[in-house]
Amino acid sequence: MNSNVRTALVTLASSAVLLGLVGCAGSANDAQATGEPTGAVPSETPPQSADARATESETGDYPIEATDEATVRAAEYTDAISSVISVHKGVSDEDVFAFDLEREDDDDDNDEVFNIDVAYNATVYEYDVLPDGSPRLDDTEQRELDDEDLREIETAELDMVAAIKAALAHQEGTIEEVELDTEDGAVVWKIDYTDDAADDLLVDAVTGEVTADN
């Protein structure tokens, strides 16, 4: 083969290689400019921050644990009191005031769990709260609200639910009886526990102060 021809072929081959390299570089640059994938393995999703996890927990994606233990412990009593108040349809909670609660003894033949007295329009109504949580009015126990009970109810700033929560935050246990009463001139909630080893408590119905009932 003529030497001139060989030289021409080598020159053409080198030009083709150079054009191919330039084309590859151009394609890579175009991909980077347009954001197209270049074949690199994507990095893993970065871990969420604590704030992000908290936001998701608030929307229900993560379970939320109750933090107010006294509220959790008081739920049984709160539900029973609320069920009694709710029977007065169309009446606000402020008009129906629960002022006496008694837990029934498990050894009794009665089917109720609690007896709760509420005052409404100067009349006292007694309700039995059944094991399924439903209230049953005891028609035989209705009476007129006496002056002493009325004075104590009008004085109280804390309702029965607030008093129970305050007592259970101070001392755990099973509450047997809650009663609005007067001690040494102060209106208080008397909280009695089923455990004889536990202190019975007084919750000031105005200030919320909790003291032992000695």
pLDDT of residue 84: 92
pLDDT: is 154 or 12 the higher one? 154
Q: Enumerate domains of the chain plus CATH numbers.
A: 69-212 (3.10.450.40)
Q: Which of 1-5, 15-19, 49-53 has the lowest mean pLDDT?
A: 49-53
pLDDT exceeds cutoff 90 at 190: yes
pLDDT exceeds cutoff 80 at 200: yes
Closest Cα to residue 114, out of 131, 138, 137? Answer: 131
Mean pLDDT of all residues belonging to the chain: 75
Distance CA 147, CA 35 (A): 82
* 153, containing H or E segment: helix 147-155
Distance CA 182, CA 209 (A): 14
The DSSP call for residue 55 is H
Distance CA 173, CA 37 (A): 64
